[in-house]
Amino acid sequence: MHYLSHIARSRLLLAATLACSVLAAHAQTPTHKHYQHSETFDTPSPTGAVAPRLQNVGKHAFNVTTKSEQAQRFINQGLNLTYGFNHAEAGRAFAEAARLDPDLAMAHWGQALALGPNINAAMPPEEEPKALEHLRKAQALKTKASQRERDYIDALAMRYTGKADDRAAADQAFAGAMRVLHEKYPDDQDAATLYAESLMDLSPWNYWTRDGRPYERTHDIIASLDKVLKANSEHPGALHLWIHLWEASNTPEKAEAAADRLLPLAPAAGHLVHMPGHIYQRVGRYTDAVKANQLAIVADEDYITQCRAQGLYPLAYYPHNVHFLWFGATMAGQSELAIDAAKKTANSIPEQALKDLPLLQAFVLTPDYALVRFGKWDEILSASAPRADTMFTRGVRHYARGMAFIRKKDFTAAQKEIEA
């Protein structure tokens, strides 16, 4: 191998890897307020309805005190969407339940729950007053709720204190309150699932030591979710969290059965359809990862079009499906599908979102990685510059062009890409 070829490839690859690592480290907690949550959950349509009745987003039931069958259906829809990490749409479903039954305390509890943090998104300080307002409405209706529902509301009160700058302490207190709730109602699958999630929120994406051992609280997460899944193998929230828990472990195959069960469970809830891919790609089932994400893309495109969805979900979760399709197709050696998915990923990001959320730059660069992976050197050299002009995007573009010049044995041009 030509000496410059070896050095150039090493330096270009190192630069690109470091850039991707830095971006990935910041990609878990998007914080820009405009995309974090909807401004309000209760903006009515011309018919007065706050949310549409969605089909096939989950059949899990969360029974509450209400005389309205329609309100109960929207409570179920709201919690299923919460478990599917579509928090904005979940909030709207809970708001519709409140409209249908003004005495329904748990409808306001649900809206407050949906505004909280999760493993993918921290809670912006400006959301605290909104969550607190919904919580107080739930508290005002406690006399019309069951004891179990009052306990749910009391537990959530620990999460929203009116002190937005003390989020870590409030999240810790909420996890403690959810433990008490879970212990009081040991057969309540939702109490156990939400307790496990409250623990996961304390250290998002960090449940295992570097040598693969579980942290102390991870044992509690495993125990809680395992109990739920033994009682109900199709609980959507427990399946979702179980996948997230094990995907970063040394034994991702422990969630393989959960992935298989989750895939057909809620065919219109795109993120839940997508989630099995997290395990499939870890255990080498790349064709199955491709299938899961193709189905998720269709589900989310239908939802976004029909509901005119805005916010974090269409800007991050939907492109994540397409991005995952690129990865799965790449690992499966499906070059045409991988390159098409890479280009679709890049084109799925609106200009303003790209400016507001720097983490989305990774999506825009996916075609560069795909073209390098499959040796499309001429296409790389003829490609236009990425839409985002930053040090990161320029670095990856120089990496791709440098690789193309090396493969074409134009080492002078490759050196210029290194030095650019």
Overall average pLDDT of the 174-187 stretch = 99
pLDDT tens-digit map of 58-74: 999 999 999 999 999 99
Classify domain 31-356 by CATH architecture: Alpha Horseshoe (1.25)
Q: Which two tokens stand for residue 288?
A: 């199955």
Domain ranges of the chain: 31-356
pLDDT confidence bin for 296, thresholds 50/70/90:
very high
**pLDDT bucket at 383, cuts 50 / 70 / 90:** very high
Q: What is the spatial distance between Cα 404 and Cα 416, in angstroms, rounded to a whole number?
A: 12
pLDDT beyond 80 at 44: no
- Rounded Cα–Cα distance for residues 216 and 390 (Å): 41
Q: Which residues contact 404 (CB under 8 A, 6 or more apart)?
A: 372, 377, 378, 380, 381
The alpha carbon of residue 68 and the mean position of all alpha carbons in its chain are separated, in whole angstroms, by 32
Under the banding of pLDDT at 50, 70 and 90, the label for residue 382 is very high
136-176 per-position pLDDT tens digit: 999 999 999 999 999 999 999 999 998 877 999 999 999 99
Helical residues (DSSP H) of 266-317, grouped into ranges = 270-274, 276-280, 286-307, 312
For residue 243, pLDDT over 50 is answered with yes
Model pTM score: 0.88
Confidence bin at 2 (pLDDT 50/70/90) = very low
Pairwise CA distance, residues 79 & 294, whole Å: 25
pLDDT of 270 over the 80 cut? yes
Task: Give the pLDDT score at 11.
Answer: 39
For tokens 């993120």, the residue is 271
Give 194-217 pLDDT, tens digit per residue: 999 999 999 999 999 999 999 999
